[in-house]
Amino acid sequence: MLDIQNLSAAYGKATALENITLNVMPGELVAVLGPNGAGKSTLLKAISRSLASQGTLTFEGRSLHEEATENVVGLGICHCPEGRRLFPELTVEKNLQLGAYLRNDKRAVAEDMQRVFALFPILSERGSQIVSTLSGGQQQMVAIGRALMGAPKLLLLDEPSVGIAHRLKMEIFAAIQQIRSRGVAILMAEQDAQSALQIADRVYVLEHGHVAQTGYAKDLAKDDRIRRIYLGLN
């Protein structure tokens, strides 16, 4: 599905990613872990083509480097960015509808809206509410829902649990598992290593823009050295 070989990216003269090799298979949940500044968000931006990069970057056999940024969503890659990037003055429903801006199938869009409301029932109750009045956790639900309205084959989630109360964080991680169970592949950048290891199939650990470690989540969760050195867990 997603195949990355020797991917590099920079902000000006500062290298942010160097020779990253990574893949995501259909229906798989892959977590990208690491401290702030490791390159997690940069990786997702490179995949969604919101940041220029070099190397091999293919999705379902097509080179993403040959695609305009605005075409990536149409290919089935939807990015839920760090910081949510919602339209604060619009309602919940309007924000969700904007996620489907490329779609013409009104019936399918309406069905997907109901799926989002089933996934996050609180959003159904607050559909007409202005997004800026929601809690941080509820806004994150809107951001994930908006990405789902694009009908993704691959969902990019950037720090979905950051700055969210524990109860809502657990609801969001449960929702992520439900999304994966529907067959949507997920690449998730996350600082909460403990929670990510519990739901991911495989993990890539980034450090200073490089892949420091990779493996199955269940194996890395048991490796005391990996937990201590790379994940900050005891």
Confidence of residue 80 (pLDDT cuts 50, 70, 90): very high
Mean pLDDT of 140-164: 95
pLDDT digits (tens, 9 = 90+) for 208-223: 999 999 999 999 888 8
pLDDT digits (tens, 9 = 90+) for 116-136: 999 999 999 999 999 999 998
Round to whole Å and give the CA distance between 191 and 152: 23
Q: What mean pLDDT value characterizes the chain?
A: 93
The pLDDT, as a whole number, for residue 69 is 82
The pLDDT, as a whole number, for residue 230 is 63
Whether 229 has a pLDDT exceeding 90, the answer reads no
How far is CA 220 from each of CA 34, 74, 211, 217, 226, rounded to the nearest angstrom? 13, 35, 14, 5, 6
The pLDDT, as a whole number, for residue 234 is 66
Mean pLDDT of 169-185: 95
Pick the CATH number of 2-229 from 2.40.170.20, 1.10.10.10, 3.40.720.10, 3.40.50.300: 3.40.50.300
Percentage of the chain exceeding pLDDT 90: 78
Mean pLDDT of 94-102: 92
Phi then psi dihedrals of residue 206, to 5 deg: -100, 145
How many contiguous H segments (helices) and E segments (strands) does the chain have? 10, 10
Spans of all domains in the chain: 2-229
Find all residues with CB under 8 Å of 52, minimum gap 6, and list them: 9, 46
Two tokens at 94? Answer: 């309007």
The pLDDT, as a whole number, for residue 85 is 85
pLDDT digits (tens, 9 = 90+) for 9-43: 999 999 999 999 999 999 999 999 988 889 999 99
